[in-house]
Amino acid sequence: MNPPRIGVIGAGVMGVGVAQVLAETGHQVVLVDVDTKALARAREEIDKGLKLSALFNPQSRGANRAQVLKAIAFATNLDGVADVSFLIENVTESPVIKEPLYRRLDEVCKPECIFAANTSAIPIARLARSTSRPDRVIGLHFMNPVPRKEFVEVIVSEHTSQTTVALSLERLRLMNKKGLVVKDSPGFVSNRVLMLAINEAIALVQEGVADARGVDEIFVKCIGQKMGPLATADLIGLDTVLKTLEFLHESYAAGKYSPSALLVSMVAKGRLGRKTGAGFFDYEGSSAR
């Protein structure tokens, strides 16, 4: 039997992680992005990711990196996913970008294909309305770094069928992941809580109550978390944090989601976290703040 062929849309940080895990677990992958430079970077990042997997996952140590990379096809045209039966979308966190994409995917993909949205906050029902298959649209909110996170937040809208839920949970199992199912709502469970914590941590730095290192040390050393909220924000990407907070603020009309002025300023300056080498911390050396 030929290995299942899965479409992955978007070659950013999350798309790269998802494509890597799929290839490592025996899937054939079509990774699509309109930016050829992004696809070239994706190939390099997946190769680096496979080396890291060998360090953290004993099961990956005997894997042939060249063979895993060979399982991933890189494409700039959505026609590359026309024949897949399962697709994971990871593009920019913006309804203005995602909704037209879903309309196009609905035209390109075969009717039985399941669309899994890897979104931080946008309701799954809203994305499903851009398709003729709302029963086959589900949320799979992977966490970063994807290869090292065992659990995935699975978001089920009022339209999502039980068959879609079952097939999606099985797909996660085949990726060596476990799904935790929640109902559809802007921000779901994870980001309705996490973004508040990050935004308040940024406010503490802005007010001079503590610097970034001090804030995170409280969470790591006193509370016992593995990573502080500001290091977490840098890992997610401060631009993604800002977009998510803006969407939550719009969705709930609640002042608590209003982005900190410091966050807005840092994004405007291009200090986006790990992906740019500097955010609240400097990833080329010492602390940035």
Cα–Cα distance for residue pair 228/231, rounded to 1 Å: 5
CA dist list (Å): 160 to 94, 109, 155, 156, 163 = 21, 18, 9, 6, 8
60, 118, 168, 191: which is the annotated catalytic residue? 191
27, 153, 157, 260: which is the annotated catalytic residue? 153
141 is catalytic: yes
Strands laid side by side in the 137-141 sheet: 72-75, 28-32, 5-9, 86-89, 114-117, 137-141, 151-156, 178-183
191 is catalytic: yes
What is the Rg, in whole angstroms, of the alpha carbon atoms belonging to the chain? 19
Q: 150: how many CB neighbours lie within 10 A of its CB? A: 8
60, 90, 120, 199: which is the annotated catalytic residue? 120
Cα–Cα distance for residue pair 235/145, rounded to 1 Å: 8
120 is catalytic: yes
Cα–Cα distance for residue pair 287/211, rounded to 1 Å: 10
85 is catalytic: no
53, 141, 159, 168: which is the annotated catalytic residue? 141
Alpha helices in 28-94 (DSSP H): 36-56, 65-70
| Best CA proximity match to 189, nearest among 149, 153, 165 | 153
Mind telling me the catalytic residues? 120, 141, 153, 191
